[in-house]
Structure 1
Amino acid sequence: MSATLPAPRVRRAALAFIFVTVLIDFLAFGLILPGLPHLVERLAGGSTATAAYWIAVFGTAFAAIQFVSSPIQGALSDRFGRRPVILLSCLGLGVDFVFMALADSLPWLFVGRVVSGVFSASFTIANAYIADVTPPEDRARSYGIVGAAFGMGLVFGPVLGGQLSHIDPRLPFWFAAGLTLLSFCYGWFVLPESLSPERRARKFDWSHANPLGSLLLLKRYPQVFGLAAVIFLVNLAQYVYPSVFVLFADYRYHWKEDAVGWVLGAVGVLSVLVNALLIGPGVKRFGERRALLFGMGFGVLGFIVIGLADAGWMLLAALPFGTLLAFAGPAAQALVTRQVGAAEQGRIQGALTSLVSVAGIVGPTMFAGSFGYFIATDAPVHLPGAPFFIAALFLCIGTLIAWRYAQAKATAAAVPEPT
């Protein structure tokens, strides 16, 4: 059941296993996207602006817990292997979705959201898993394939979640619980271990498992530190979607849960196409640096158009451009993994996830807060697209940093392996 992966003979099978595991997890998260803001709105008993502030609190708490737990999960995977950490993540999320389905007040729903932050490690460990089993020159393509799993989760999850929310706003949580527990069973029986005992860290190091220590670990790799800033800004910008998109679409275009579910499904289709069909050949032909800059440039364009869109068709027209931002993540991740050895991939990915969590702490408050502020009756100017303009600004800054630090040919930093 838990035999270590014999590379490279079963590399493709291993990537298929990790793809399905990540797909099921993101399907579960996608299911609750359309209904959660409206469930919060119902339990809060307030206006759309009030619900926006509550969503900010939920998102910030989720990210704060991830900030603390991600480096611990990464360090545990470096010491004990990737497989047990992924399994624990799936089991914990399944139980937590049941808890959230039963929550009858905002405080209890808040507790459930916090617990989900503790166990949401599958994507972090999946990145380390890919680095274990894939040669450096193929990693951007492999990260693109896992990105396609994320996109497929956005295709089917929100569409189904929007329909289920019409029946009962709690039904998506029950369905998500079933999917995540299915992922646990799948991983238990078929997911192989990718990190052999001789390649693991010799001990669990608390100095790198705590979030501040894990961020300091990034400074040991000069180029990684700059790329980490890019990854942070890209993810900060992308937090505009979970923070305000549902409420933004309802306020500006009067789209309800089912309509938003279909739109998010369309985003997922585009994401799958980009990740599965374009990223691999694009990175291979033009290199990781150009792919990174290309994706960020089109991301800026997409956010600006969405912010300006007065009609729903304008937003839909902007989606293909914004989806090309998907090039940025796999290209940056591939550049990062070239810099570190196998025994530190988990901790580096944990540190990067901590940065994403910092983005999640700042992003929901900033985006949902600015949305609520600029649609309020006493706002100095009515500007519901303000969050998307802010996201575009962050991507512009990230593009400048990427121009400096994303070298065309990265070389592994000469840093000794941990003991």
Structure 2
Amino acid sequence: MSQTVRSRVSGATRGKLFILIVTNFVDMVGLLMILPLLPYYADELGGGGMEVALLVSSFTAAQLISAPLWGRFSDRHGRKPALLVGLAAAAIAYVVFAFATSLWVLLLSRIVQGAGGGTVGVIQAYVADSTEPQNRAKALGWLSAATNLGVALGPPLGSLALLLGRPGPGLVAATLCVLNIAFASRFLKESRDMTEASVKRPGASRQAIMRVVTHSREPAPRLIWIYAIAMGAFSGMTAILALFLLDEWAVGPDRIWMVFTYLGVISVITRAGILGTLVDRFGEVRLSRAGLVLLAIGLSAIPFAGNYVLLALAIALVPLGTAFTFPCVTSLLSRLIPSNERGLYMGVQQTFGGLARVIVPLWAGFAYDQLGHGVPFYTSALLITGTIFLGLGIDAGGGTKVAAAEPAAESAA
């Protein structure tokens, strides 16, 4: 079985995924060149904490609104055009960022960038189109590993680009984006069956969003809720982790990078290295459930760690849990959604996940200040525990219902 899987992934599918992964990696490098510098640019233009929060949240808000629209667009017109238009929007946003002379212009750049950045669901749909069902979690793991590498490389490149002057980071990011557009235009192949797309139209974005709310007992909406709640819980932890480590462990700005590098290295190794093997052995349902258990244990254990070794072990469970959970849940969702609505529902998943990334961190900040330093970790762990029960029964009959919902995968040629 595993030998067959390796053979399939090593052919035309692997080539298509490589181009997509490179495109996504370069896009993430450009994004993270800009993001760490945002507070400094805002401060230079007279902004304070509230203005910085608005700049950050405006990106998320634009992303939330645009994600289902991009997904539906890609279902009708193809994944490649949607990705290219999204990259073009990002390039424009970076140029606006580079020459922003007021907070309003800076805000405009963030809104444009967020609107173009709503294509995460399209990228996930591309992976689902291009891979056989049993290989999707592995491929999504590779994709997220590349994303984490981009997150690690973007900030130092952004700081280096400041040597070119204040517009430097924005202009370098825009240049990378233009090169990325040229690369994707030349080498990225369309994954969507456009003959099917001309016959089977996706539903409306609003209907898809409401279905997740009104039909929450169905397997696909339950998977979206699991993804969103787990993503929110993880984001709540990351929002206050640095502050917690400063207050409880005296880990200051000069050492906090070690913690996030540690998280990133574990995540990359797990997703790019061992995730595929574990999916082949245990299956996506069991592995995602194990990931949720690890994530809940890690979150709840962090406040109880009595020394650096225990703290490191508790923190390590978090990237392990997310690496096992998110690719598997997204892969399972792709099996339950017909290909003509795959982009739409992947976008809806990102919308719900994005809402959770806004709501839970706000709660975490309030709870940390008002209720105790450990409370955000406990509540996040409690949320994760709830998703474990939410997922019970999705694999009824040994997982046959999930597998049966997936039609034959599109050709990887």
**TM score, norm. by length of structure 1:** 0.81
From 10, 19, 22, the counterpart of 2:24: 22
User: Shift in Å at residue 157 of structure 1?
Assistant: 2.5
Aligned mates of 1:250, 1:107 — CA distance in 2: 33
Matched with 2:222 is 226
Gaps of 5+ in 1: 1-6
In the alignment, is the contact (CA less than 8 A) between 1:35 and 1:165 conserved in 2?
no
2: CA distance between counterparts of 1:101 and 1:242?
28
The answer to whether residue 205 in structure 2 is matched with residue 216 in structure 1 is no
Unaligned runs of 5+ in 2: 1-8, 408-413
Change (3 A) 1:26 1:316: farther
d(CA) in 1 for partners of 2:229, 2:17: 28
Indicate which of 138, 142, 146 corresponds to 1:145.
Answer: 142
**What residue in structure 2 maps to residue 199 of structure 1?**
196
Does the 8 A contact of 2:220 with 2:337 survive in 1? Answer: no
**1:235 is the counterpart of 2:224:** no
Query: Is 1:181 paired with 2:178?
Result: yes
Q: Distance in 2 between matches of 1:45 and 1:291?
A: 45
Cα distance in 2 for residues equivalent to 1:309 and 1:28 = 36
1:4 maps to: none
Q: 1:294 aligns with which of 290, 294, 298?
A: 290
Tell me the CA shift for residue 247 of structure 1.
Answer: 5.7
CA drift of 1:320 comes to 1.9
Change in 2 beyond 3 A, CA 1:226/1:344: same
Query: Does the 8 Å contact 1:55/1:243 carry over to 2?
Result: no
Deviation (angstroms), 1:168: 7.6
1:2-401 mapped onto 2 (5 Å cutoff): 10-37=12-39, 40=42, 51=49, 56-161=53-158, 172-202=169-199, 208-209=204-205, 212-218=206-212, 219=215, 222-240=218-236, 243-245=239-241, 253=250, 255-256=252-253, 259-307=255-303, 316-325=312-321, 326-371=323-368, 374=369, 379=370, 383-401=372-390
TM-superposed deviation, 1:139: 1.0
| CA distances 1:161-214 after superposition (whole Å, capped 9, x unpaired) | 566679988754444333333322211111111113212154765x513xx322
String of CA shifts for 1:239-272, please: whole Å, max 9, x gaps: 236644556666664533x744454333222111
Distance 1:67 1:400 in 2: 27
**Pair 414,33 (structure 1): closer, same or farther in 2 beyond 3 Å:** closer
Over residues 327-347 of structure 1, what are the superposed CA-to-partner deviations in whole Å (9 max), with x where a residue is unaligned? 101111121111122211111
The aligned amino acid for 1:287 is: G
Specify whether residues 404 and 101 from structure 1 end up closer, same or farther in structure 2 by C-alpha distance, changes over 3 A only: farther
Distance 2:176 2:287 in 1: 34
Distance 2:21 2:37 in 1: 26
Mean Cα deviation higher: 406-415 or 387-396: 406-415
**CA distance, structure 1, for counterparts of residue 260 and residue 406 of structure 2:** 43
Return the offset for 1:141: 1.0
Residues 139 and 245 (structure 1), Cα distance of their counterparts in 2 relative to 1, 3 Å cut = same
Question: Does the C-alpha gap of structure 1 residues 42 and 397 become closer, same or farther in structure 2, counting only changes over 3 Å?
Answer: farther
- CA offsets per residue over residues 289-324 of structure 1, 9 Å max, x none? 111111111112322344456887765443321111
Distance 1:131 1:248, change over 3 A: same
Distance 2:271 2:278 in 1: 10
Amino acid at match of 2:78: G
Shift of 1:348: 1.5
The AA in structure 1 aligned to 2:193 is: S
Q: Distance in 1 between matches of 2:316 and 2:129?
A: 32
Cα–Cα, structure 1 residues 413 and 216, in superposed 2: closer, same or farther, change >3 Å?
farther
- Which piece of structure 1 moves more, 137-146 or 306-315? 306-315
Contact kept, 8 Å, 2:32 with 2:155, in 1: the verdict is yes
Percent identical among aligned pairs is 26
RMSD in angstroms over aligned alpha carbons?
3.4
Q: Secondary structure of the residue that 2:392 maps to in structure 1?
A: helix
Alignment length, in residue pairs?
Answer: 392
Aligned to 1:3: none
- The alpha carbon displacement at 1:33 in A equals 4.5
How far did 1:76 drift? 0.7
